[in-house]
Every structure is written in C-alpha cells, then in structure tokens.
Structure 1
Amino acid sequence: MDLKLEVLVIPVSDVDRAKAFYEQLGFRLDADFPVGDDFRVVQVTPPGSEASIILGKGVSTAAPGSVQGLHLVVTDIEAARAELLARGADVSDVWHDADGVFHHPGTTNRVSGPHPERASYGSFASFEDPDGNGWILQEVVTRAPGR
C-alpha cells in the first residue's frame, strides 16, 4: 500500500499575511476558499513538491507558529538560500550538525558551513514564516537507496 503525504496544516494568525509570504517565496497558490467569517482554507505548494500546505482560519487548533522542523529538500543549499533571501525570507547561514547524522532541535550542535564532504542529507539552512513556523532546507544531491 502506498501512503503519500499530501498536505500539512500550518497554523497562522493572519491568513492574508501568511498567504502573501508563501507566494512571495514562490509557492504556487492552489486554492483559496473563504467559507465564512470563521473558516477559510488556503492551499499552497512549494516549487517542485508533490505535497502542499494548508493555512487558514478555523483549520487547526494548534497555536500559530507552533509547527517546527518542516523540511524542504533542495539540490543546492547555497543557491536555494540565495533565492529565498532574494525573495524576502530571513534565511540562516548554511550549517551542518556536529554529529553528521541529522540535526538537533534549535541551534544545538550546529557547525557553520555545509557538511565537510557535502554529503547528501548533511547540510541545512533554516527560516521561519511570519508566525514563527520553522522550516529547514536540507541539501540532498543523491537520495539514499529506496527513497
């Protein structure tokens, strides 16, 4: 059985501000359904992604800004960072984790610069949306077997 991730719900405080932010980053607007004063569904998709995010009003009980560790895979971490900066995102410098396996939450164990061997899955940069929902860019040039 295939189970494909389709949508993640991201809690935001201001739907129009969040929608504008993600569109400015190049996310495709798939839908904007205002269904009254208390319910609105906005769906956007990152460039090249098969999975989308939904933000809106009345779509989540989670606190705005509470979602962390959302990963966007890129093939060139430095080029992706530069493009997001040019589009107005406040993106961290590129970093890798001292343990070289994944990364710790927050800024614990971060080492400045890309992974020393530029190993796939080893270099990161991060940014937040206007509410503080946290995104991680992860460089993957060669996927691990079976992925």
Structure 2
Amino acid sequence: MNMKLELVVLPVSDVDRARDFYEKAGFRLDLAKDINEEYRVVHLTPPGSECSIIFGKGMTTAAPGSAQGLYLIVTDIEEARTELVDRSIEVSEVFHDAGGLFFHGHDAGDVAHDGGGQERIAGPHPERASYASYATFSDPDGNGWVLQEITQRLPGR
C-alpha cells in the first residue's frame, strides 16, 4: 500500500497575515473559505510540491508557531534563497553542517547553531553534496521552514 503525505496543518494566530506571507513566498492559493464564524480554512501549495499546507480558524489546538522542521526541497539552494529574499521573505544565509548530517535546527537567525553536536558552517557544502546545504526561514508566527538542496536523490527515493 502506498501512502503519500498530502497536507500539513499549520498553527497560526492570524489567518490573513499567514495567507499574505505564504502567497508572498510564492505558494499557490488552492482554497480560502469561511465556513462560519468558528471555522475558516486556507489551503496553499508550495511551487512544484505535491504536499500542501492548510491553516485557519478552528483547525488545530496546537500553539501558533509550534510547527518546526518543515522541509522544502530545492535543486539550487542559492537560487531558492534569492527568490525568497526577492519576495521580501527573511531567510538565513546558506549554510552546511560541519558533520555533514541531517540538519535538525530551524532558527532562521542563528548562523552558528549547536543543536546537539551540530555546527552550522557559512556557505553551501564545499562539494555541493546533495542533502548538505540549507537555509531557514519562519512565518510570522514562528513556524520553522528549512530549504534543503537535493540535486541527486539517494537510491530508492
């Protein structure tokens, strides 16, 4: 049986502000519907993604900004970062992990992060190794996104 991740619910405090942010970041608006005063839905999809985000009023009891480690995979980290910055999104500088492993932090403003033995090194990975270069940003509530450069997928992916 195949299972595909299709939708991620984001906890936000201000639906209109979140919608404006994600549209400015280039996400496609798929649905915006006010069901009633207690239930409002906004559904958007990142460019080229098969997985979407949804948020609104009455959607989740999770604290606004508590979604972290949301990965957006790109083929050129510097180009993706530049495009977001050109759209007035605050994005960290490109970095890589000293150990060359999965990056598990998310703070967009933290350039020298130690997340349990992890160290950010400024700039993309020296060999531009797939899965090894990152940049981070957050939405207005603090939901944390990670751009990750993947140019060649691991076998089976």
Same fold (TM over 0.5): yes
Q: Which runs of 4+ in 1 moved over 2 A?
A: 104-107
1:69-107 per-residue CA deviation (whole Å, 9 max, x = no partner) reads 000000000000000001011000000111101113252
| Corresponding position of 2:102 | 102
| Corresponding position of 1:75 | 75
One-letter amino acid matched to 1:13: S
> In angstroms, what is the RMSD of aligned CA positions?
0.8
Aligned 8 A contact 1:30 1:43 in 2: yes
| Corresponding position of 1:144 | 154
For residues 97 and 40 of structure 1, the distance between their equivalents in structure 2, rounded to whole angstroms, comes to: 40
Shift of 1:116: 1.4
One-letter amino acid matched to 2:17: R
One-letter amino acid matched to 2:83: E
Number of residues of Structure 1 aligned to a counterpart in Structure 2: 147
TM-score (norm 2): 0.91
For residues 103 and 47 of structure 1, the distance between their equivalents in structure 2, rounded to whole angstroms, comes to: 22
TM-score (norm 1): 0.97
Aligned 8 A contact 1:68 1:134 in 2: yes
Gaps (5+ residues) in structure 1?
none
Shift of 1:128: 0.3
Gaps (5+ residues) in structure 2?
107-112
